[in-house]
């Protein structure tokens, strides 16, 4: 499809760009990230982590295997990519990505060589890939205040890394996640599911998690403060009095289905703010859909490690450019336009000299 759009008689030039030429997809990723930050940065930006599947035939495409993917809604032959999206009130775009390699691949040197996987690449779980993306963003001084992700990424090293970096989070957990919280100075322990059953009706708030295709995404929400960490469970350098742990619970209006989220936030953070953070997680689903339908995210025919990362990085670049166009189109009119209107209004008032003076002063 890209070859046709470029007017090429066949696909080989595009294939050469992805697989046979020498350029650095990691450098392009960093360019895209900086471009996105310049365009979309705002104080409450959320870094959203999620994954998506790339359906494949055969066994040669790098990382392919039978796995569950939400893009197909079933276990099927596919590749899995883990992504980080930058989501703010100015818009959203991808800033990082990594192809997941299952153990069936990392334990087969011949298969790795055939797909041109770099020797330094070893097996890493999806949470480890996500952790590397978060750490890369922190090292690059990407301005973000929060991280949001589903239950695959919701516990363990990611939590500790974010606490040490003084970043808030709203991370999905399962109903069996163990919690310790206080109520009237009485410590209580249990699973998230059991604790949610005991939340009184007056503690639920009906709030929107953002606008959806059918209007506001309304749910009932409740937030509970969790007990402090043991002294040896956290860096002694962190002042826990400034930050609080919590359990955020979401309840569906029609079916009463519950979802649970571990939270870490500055003391005094409102439930409304936590709901805003969790609601921005939907932006990455929208980004996946847009990238698939409009930018050909899943239309790569390259089988190599480099081919996948190059193709996806080019899609990220196109998405970032569209995000910038959208941001400018939806923003206030250019300053020069406002100046022209101001000067024009004065001119029409019957005083051209005053109009010129106003325009010069504004410039």
Q: Please check whether residues 236 and 297 belong to one and the same domain.
A: yes
Same domain, 176 and 287: yes
Determine the pLDDT at residue 363.
Answer: 41
In-domain check, residue 31: yes
Residues 62-109: tens digit of each pLDDT: 999 998 887 777 889 999 999 999 999 999 999 999 999 999 999 999
Q: What pLDDT score does 28 carry?
A: 95
Q: How many Cβ atoms are within 10 Å of 351's Cβ, its own excluded?
A: 12
Low-confidence ranges of the chain (pLDDT < 50): 184, 186, 230-233, 338-339, 341-343, 345-350, 352-363
- In this prediction, residue 354 carries a pLDDT of 43
Q: Provide the angle, in degrees to the nearest 10, between the axes of the packed helices 25-40 and 305-330.
A: 20
Query: Does 29 reside within a domain?
Result: yes
Residues 215 and 363 in one domain: no
User: What CA dihedral angle connects 166, 168, 172 and 176, to 10 degrees?
Assistant: 60
Looking at residue 232, what is its pLDDT? 41
Burial class (CB in 10 A: 0-12, 13-18, 19+), 170: buried
Total domains present in the chain: 2
pLDDT the model gives residue 362:
39
Specify the CATH number for the domain of residue 276.
3.90.350.10
Residues 289 and 352 in one domain: no
Q: How far does CA 325 lie from the centroid of its chain? A: 20
pLDDT computed for residue 187 by the predictor: 57
Q: Which of 194, 183, 205 is nearest to 276 (CA)?
A: 205
Q: What is the pLDDT of residue 93?
A: 98
The pLDDT of residue 181: 64
pTM score, whole prediction: 0.85
Please report whether residue 54 resides in a domain.
Answer: yes
Q: Are residues 343 and 308 in the same domain?
A: no
pLDDT at residue 220, rounded to an integer: 96
pLDDT of residue 231: 40
Determine whether 110 is exposed, middle or buried from the number of CB atoms within 10 Å of its CB (0-12, 13-18, 19+). exposed
Residues 49 and 33 in one domain: yes
Write out pLDDT tens, residues 17-48. Answer: 887 778 899 999 999 999 999 999 999 999 99
Same domain, residue pair 343 and 329: no
Query: How many Cα atoms are found within 13 Å in the side-chain-facing hemisphere of 166?
Result: 10
Q: Which residues constitute the domain of residue 224?
A: 25-334
Res 235: pLDDT: 54
- Distances in Å between the Cα of 173 and the Cα atoms of 18, 177, 222 are 38, 6, 15
Q: Give the model's pLDDT for residue 198.
A: 86
Residue 125, CA distances (Å) to 93, 118, 152, 292 in order:
24, 17, 10, 25
């Amino acid at each position: 499809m890209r070859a046709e759009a470029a007017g090429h008689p066949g696909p080989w030039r595009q294939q050469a760009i992805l697989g046979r030429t020498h350029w650095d997809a990691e450098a392009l990723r960093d360019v895209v990230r900086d471009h996105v930050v310049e365009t979309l940065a705002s104080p409450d930006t959320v870094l959203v982590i999620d994954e998506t599947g790339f359906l494949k035939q055969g066994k040669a495409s790098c990382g392919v295997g039978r796995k569950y993917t939400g893009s197909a809604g079933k276990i099927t032959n596919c590749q899995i990519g883990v992504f980080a999206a930058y989501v703010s009130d100015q818009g959203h775009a991808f800033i990082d990505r990594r192809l997941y390699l299952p153990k069936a691949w990392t334990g087969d040197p011949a298969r790795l060589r055939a797909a041109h996987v770099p020797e330094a690449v070893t097996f890493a779980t999806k949470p480890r890939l996500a952790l590397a993306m978060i750490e890369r963003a922190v090292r690059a001084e990407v301005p973000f205040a929060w991280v949001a992700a589903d239950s695959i990424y919701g516990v363990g090293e990611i939590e500790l890394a974010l606490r040490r970096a003084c970043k808030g989070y709203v991370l999905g957990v399962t109903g069996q996640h163990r919690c310790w919280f206080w109520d009237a100075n009485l410590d209580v322990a249990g699973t998230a599911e059991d604790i949610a059953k005991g939340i009184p009706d007056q503690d639920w708030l009906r709030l929107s998690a953002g606008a959806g295709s059918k209007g506001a995404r309304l749910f009932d929400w409740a937030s509970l403060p969790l007990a402090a960490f043991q002294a040896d469970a956290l860096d002694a350098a962190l002042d826990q009095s400034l930050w609080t742990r919590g359990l955020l619970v979401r309840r569906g209006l029609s079916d009463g289905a519950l979802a649970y989220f571990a939270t870490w936030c500055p003391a005094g953070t409102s439930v409304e703010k936590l709901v805003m953070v969790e609601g921005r997680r939907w932006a990455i689903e929208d980004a996946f859909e847009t990238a698939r339908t409009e930018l050909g995210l899943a239309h790569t025919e390259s089988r190599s490690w480099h081919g996948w990362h190059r193709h996806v990085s080019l899609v990220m670049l196109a998405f970032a450019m569209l995000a910038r166009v959208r941001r400018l189109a939806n923003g206030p009119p250019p300053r020069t336009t406002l100046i022209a209107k101001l000067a024009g209004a004065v001119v029409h008032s019957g005083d051209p000299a005053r109009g010129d003076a106003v325009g010069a002063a504004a410039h």
